[in-house]
Structure 1
Amino acid sequence: MDVLIFSTSVSAPEQVTKVQPLLTSVQAIQDFNFDLEDCDNILRVVADDLSPRYIETLLNNAGFLCTELEY
């Protein structure tokens, strides 16, 4: 399993509620969480063999900025 970390423009619990169904619909995603208290509004995704670009595109298509962070 991989842990992917993204900076996002998701900044409120209501926005997390909007994005949650998109993320839970992806079978490769085992778990995810947002850290809205971080200045980058961090999204952490635990997944099996999933491209970071897929998550970026998923959130971008929903109207949010999403960029993978290197760690």
Structure 2
Amino acid sequence: MIEVFKTNVQEEDQSTLIIGKLLEHFPNSLISFDLEDCDKILRIHSSSISNKKIIAILNSHGYLCEALL
């Protein structure tokens, strides 16, 4: 399953930090950011995804995150 989120992550080093934190909770996932996109897209490909947990993790690090449908 793939989930896509709109974020306000701006820098490559910020995305690297967030990916590391997300992998702690979703260890067998493929996670990437598209910082060139105007919505700073976060994509997560995993067998089990919790949108609420992903949003909470980004929020706890000071970033906005919203699931895209």
TM-score normalised to the size of structure 2? 0.89
Structure 2 unmatched ranges of 5 or more: none
Match of 1:43 in 2: 42
RMSD (CA atoms): 1.3
Deviation at 1:27, TM superposition (A): 3.3
Secondary structure of the structure 1 residue equivalent to 2:29: strand
Stretch moving more, 60-69 or 11-20: 11-20
TM-score computed with the length of structure 1 as normaliser: 0.87
Q: The residue matched to 1:5 in structure 2 has which SS? A: strand
Contact kept in structure 2, 1:34 and 1:43, CA below 8 Å: yes
Report what 2:67 is aligned to: 68
Deviation at 1:42, TM superposition (A): 0.1
Distance 1:26 1:11 in 2: 22
The structure 1 segments of at least 4 consecutive aligned residues displaced by more than 2 Å after TM superposition are none
User: How many percent of aligned residue pairs carry the same amino acid?
Assistant: 35
Where does the alignment leave 5 or more consecutive residues of structure 1 unmatched?
Answer: none
Partner of 2:30: 31
